[in-house]
Amino acid sequence: MIQSVTDARVVLSTIGNADDAKRVSRLLVEERLAACVSAMPVESCYMWEGKLAEDAERLLVIKTTAGSLAALERRLRELHPYAVPEFVVIEPESVATSYLAWLVESVNA
């Protein structure tokens, strides 16, 4: 199968702590909804229920395919401890051919 850069997607989602980040990341990869999930510590400042909130969180950078987005979003909502999980999709302009082939194979296997 010939892959196109249009197959690749990057999803951003924040989550509260390292244990939740690891649990959700592992399940998304094991269930082949994501090829890879990178988690990094971030400090978030946001409005929640009319009040300013500042929290240490983990930013999940989820690498997946366009065809898996709907299933990934459903599963992330099921697994996520937040009432309103972040789900921001980025469509890359360019992806290395070998990485794209691995990504598609990993998600679609």
Task: Name the β-bridge partners of 52.
Answer: 47
Mean pLDDT of the chain: 94
Q: What local confidence, expressed as pLDDT, does residue 25 receive? A: 98
Residues of the chain with pLDDT under 50: 1
8 A C-beta contact, residue 100 and residue 5: yes
Running DSSP on this structure, what letter comes out for residue 52? Answer: E
Q: In what order do the strands lie in the sheet with 88-90?
A: 36-48, 51-65, 8-15, 88-90
Could you tell me where the beta strands, DSSP code E, fall in the chain? 8-15, 36-48, 51-65, 88-90
CA terminus-to-terminus distance, the chain: 12
pTM, full prediction = 0.93
pLDDT in tens, 71-102: 999 999 999 999 999 999 999 999 999 999 99
Would you state the pLDDT for residue 109? 63
Q: Which residues have C-beta within 8 Å of that of residue 77, sequence separation ≥ 6? A: 85, 87
CATH code for the domain defined by 5-108: 3.30.70.120
Report phi then psi at 82, rounded to 5: -80, 150
Give pLDDT, residue 108: 83
